[in-house]
Amino acid sequence: MLEFMPMPPAKLVALLKPKRRWAQFSLTTVFVVVTVLCVSLAFAVNRAHRRWEAVAAIEKSGGWVSYDYQRDDSGAYLPNAKPPGPGWLRRMLGDNFLAKPVGVQLFADSKSGMKPEEFTDVQASMIGVLTELRWLVLKDTAITDESLTYFAGLSRLKSLDLEHTVVTDAGVAKLKGVLPTCTIYHSSGCARPGRREE
């Protein structure tokens, strides 16, 4: 015959008390994590806003911006490419919020309505935030050597067209020293990768 042994009250209370299954965090830890996330989000939004301002300045002058999903590795345009990200997010933030600008074209063309003469060193100063650019055409614009300092951080740039601008040979040579793999076209000639302008 089984005998019933009474359980000590302390053990009974311990069994009835719900067990905590989640890790416990102090309020300070939660505050630090939330602060880090907010600061990271603020940097991302600020960068996206500056990128949007640069694109708006280019488009205001009649220029055209292409994004990473619209071009293949060789630079060929992909006409039926879809923007990245889910549809609901694109509807909220725009098709190109998650995309990276890789190409800019701005040149005199009476049919397209481009107004490159309105694109000056002030607008060019915004291009430095477009760090993923690979192709940059700023023909017929009003930029000077000052603008070239803003392009020095565009390390992925493969081709830069500065024809019919007042950019000097000295300015191009200096930029070529910073971007040795970029082909730079300008009115005095063509600075190809591996060859510095004299």
% of the chain residues with pLDDT over 70: 78
Contacts of 121 (CB under 8 A, 6+ apart): 142, 143, 144, 146, 147
CA distances 81 to 66, 69, 131, 132, Å, are 11, 6, 22, 18
pLDDT tens-digit readout, 27-48:
888 888 889 988 888 887 788 7
Pairing of strands 135-138, 159-162: parallel
Give me the phi and psi of 64, to 5 degrees please.
-130, 135
Predicted confidence band at 141 (pLDDT cuts at 50, 70, 90)?
A: confident
Residue 198 has a pLDDT of 39
Q: What is the pTM of this model?
A: 0.70
d(CA 34, CA 31): 5
SS3 41: helix
**Cα–Cα distance list, 67 to 112, 123, 175 (Å):** 20, 19, 24
CA atoms within 13 A on the CB side of 3: 2
Residues paired with 64 in a beta bridge: 105
Domains of the chain: 25-191 (3.80.10)
pLDDT tens digits, 45-84: 788 778 888 888 888 888 888 998 988 877 788 888 888 8
Question: Residue 194 is encoded by which pair of tokens?
Answer: 């591996």
88 and 166 in contact (C-beta within 8 Å)? no
Per DSSP, the residues of 162-183 read ETTS---HHHHHHHHHH-TT-E
Residue closest to 132 by CA, chosen among 194, 56, 48, 193: 48
User: What does the pLDDT read at residue 195?
Assistant: 42
